[in-house]
Structure 1
Amino acid sequence: MQDLAGLDMPRKPPTFDGVALLWGLLFSLFSASAQVMACSQSCHCIEKSSMTVVQCMSRNLDKIPSDLPRNTVVLLLAANHITHIPNNAFRELHYLQEVDLSNNDIETVDFGAFQGVSDSLLFLDLSNNRIKSVPKEAFARLRAKISLSNNPWHCECTLQEVLRELRLDPETVNEVICHTAVQEEYAGKSVIQVFDSGINFCNFHHKTTDVAMFVTMFGWFTMVIAYVIYYVRHNQEDARRHLEYLKSLPSSSQISKDCDTISTVL
């Protein structure tokens, strides 16, 4: 029998399904790589050890770009015209460690703005914006060091509760100022100075609410009393008129006398 070991046996050509599967896999890998590595058109990206620093400073942006590389570690968005941080703004950036949004026009921060990055984020700069207040949930579970200096903060109960849970940047913490406050005497003072003095805006809020409720209840009580007095006086007037009408009618004795007189005449 002829030894077949040394013969070059014809190889079975790949089937169409196998080729399609191979090309599909390569395309998927290429697409995933492109999605991770592609830089935003509005920014400049620098690659460092397979991680990306995205530089979007002074680009006249009015919102946070949505086409950021997924391997972004540092995101620099300072000196733009961004006014709002929406929900899930950084949700796909699972490696994000630093965000600089200083020197923008930010006024509102949605309650879910930092969802998805609460575990990875190490530093967040929101200084020099126009933020007056934030919802309690906005910074929930964030462990990052945060700079909130030079914003027109309105010091009240919610802000006090939010700041108690944050790691404020110690280098800028004294620049977090109460631009306005529920108690006017604290306007212009640093938040830390106010809080360290033992002021609790939440107690003041509750007292204000209690006073407002008391005033409202007193107003309703006054209206009820006024209505009762009006109702009584109105009924008294009707009763008086009815009594005068009854008095104006001839009495039964007078009618009887008149009948007797008529009988006598007849």
Structure 2
Amino acid sequence: MFLTRLSSPFAQLLVTNVFFSLLLGVPLSVSCPQRCQCTDHSGAMAVLCSSRHLEEIPQDIPKDAVYLKLDANKITKIPNNAFKHLNHLEELDLSRNAIEKIDMAAFKGVADGLQMLDLSNNHIQSIPKEALVKLNAKIRLSNNPWHCECTLQEVLWEVKLDPESVNEITCQTSVREEYVGKPLVQILDSGVNFCNIRQKTTDIAMFITMFGWFTMVITYVVYYVRHNQEDARKHLEYLKSLPSTQVPKETISTIL
């Protein structure tokens, strides 16, 4: 009834926004990303963007967001500085997406306050160590098609993994075939060091390269000597074929 007394369409729209803001418990100053819902969760801003068919991270997430749920979307990449303005962020859920690539500075700006980061159930095969090492948050990396090698091992050494999901980090591919399908933590606990494996592989490659060069040099020397011997033999036979009066003995002795 109150709305019908307002003659201005702008005034009607303003009152409508006030009504829904009060209903949802959201301050009027908050601009919520399209297709997302912003609510007050125990006095903290929660931005809920779950299952909204998002293909990238929204640009207009409120800077006072404390909880951000982007799970169950179609996000494929976390670019640099994607969350740099979210200084109050404590929980970030990126699970059940199609994430394949995470840039080195993807989580720059949220390192200090972030308490939980969920990257489980994505398409991540590798991740730069620099993207996670400065985070104090518990991190979930389970159910991704990980390639187990030195870089991933270094990531696990540096970050704080969520203990409930640590055994679900398995090797879909690996530098060694026998580790495929096994939990990475179990492999590392058995004493395997992927960084040593990489060093040994590099050493073997260098040895093979050096051996190849050495073989080429030896082959060239042998060819050179044999070629000169053949030329010398032909020259000697030529000299012997000449009349003896024309071939000084000193020349033959020098050749021999």
- Counting matched residue pairs gives 221
Q: 1:238 aligns with which of 218, 225, 231?
A: 231
Q: Does 1:135 align with 2:105?
A: no
Q: Deviations over 1:56-106 (max 9, x none)?
A: 111111111112111111111111111111111111111111111111111
What CA deviation, in whole Å up to 9, does each residue of 1:159-183 have, x standing for no partner?
Answer: 1111011111111111111112222
In 1, Cα distance between equivalents of 2:188 and 2:136: 21
Tell me which of 171, 190, 197 is aligned to 2:190. Answer: 197
Tell me the alpha carbon deviations over residues 119-148 of structure 1, each in whole angstroms, 9 at most, x when there is no partner. Answer: 011100001011111112110211100111
Compute the RMSD of aligned alpha carbons.
2.0
| Contact in 2 for aligned 1:36/1:71 (Cα 8 Å) | no
- Higher Cα radius of gyration: 1
Q: 2:214 aligns with which of 221, 224, 230?
A: 221
Instruction: For 1:120 and 1:221, locate their aligned partners in 2 and report how far apart those are by CA, in whole Å.
Output: 57
Contact 1:52/1:73 (CA < 8 Å) preserved in 2?
yes
Gaps of 5+ in 2: 1-26, 248-256
Amino acid paired to 2:45: T
Q: Secondary structure at the match of 2:173?
A: strand
1:64 to 50, 57, 63: 57
Change in CA separation of 1:48 and 1:191 when aligned onto 2, cut-off 3 Å: same
How big is the shift at 1:155? 1.2
| C-alpha deviation, 1:218, in angstroms | 0.6
The 8 Å contact of residues 36 and 70 in structure 1, kept in 2 or not, is answered as: no
Instruction: Give the aligned partner of residue 177 of structure 1.
Output: 170
Q: Distance in 2 between matches of 1:119 and 1:35?
A: 28
User: 2:7 maps to which residue?
Assistant: none
User: Percentage identity across aligned positions?
Assistant: 63
3-state SS, counterpart of residue 172 of structure 2: strand
Moved over 6 A (4+): none
**1:53: Cα distance to partner?**
1.0
Q: Structure 1 residues 83 and 65, CA, compared in 2 at 3 Å: closer, same or farther? A: same
Per-residue CA deviation, residues 189-246 of structure 1 (Å, 9 max, x unaligned), is 1112111112111111111111111111111111111111112222222222333333
Q: Which of the residues 140, 144, 147 maps onto 2:137?
A: 144
2-side partners of 1:35 and 1:91: how far apart? Answer: 23
Counterpart for residue 115 of structure 2:
122
**1:104 and 2:101 are equivalent in the alignment:** no
The one-letter code sitting in structure 1 at the alignment partner of 2:66 is V
Query: Match of 1:258?
Result: none
- Contact 1:35/1:69 (CA < 8 Å) preserved in 2? no
Distance 1:204 1:104 in 2: 32
Shift of residue 35, structure 1, vs aligned partner:
11
Decide whether aligned partners of structure 1 residues 35 and 126 sit closer, same or farther in structure 2, where only a CA change above 3 A counts. farther
Change (3 A) 1:177 1:246: same
The letter of the residue matching 2:138 is K
User: 2:13 matched to which residue of 1?
Assistant: none
Residues in 1 aligned to 2:39 and 2:242: alpha-carbon distance in whole angstroms: 108
Q: Does residue 164 of structure 1 match 2:148? A: no
**Residue correspondence of structure 1 range 33-72 to structure 2 within 5 A:** 37-48=30-41, 51-72=44-65
For residues 75 and 237 of structure 1, the distance between their equivalents in structure 2, rounded to whole angstroms, comes to 82
Contact 1:36–1:69 (Cα < 8 Å) also in 2: no
Q: Compared with structure 1, are the counterparts of its residues 222 and 36 closer, same or farther at alpha carbon in structure 2 (3 Å cutoff)? A: farther
Question: How many Å separate the matches in 2 of 1:63 and 1:35?
Answer: 26
Corresponding residue SS for 1:54: strand
Letter of the 1:62 partner, please give it. E
- Residue 172 of structure 1 aligns with an amino acid whose one-letter code is S
Provide structure 1 residue ranges, at least 5 long, that are not aligned to the other structure.
1-33, 255-266
* Length-normalised TM-score, structure 2: 0.81
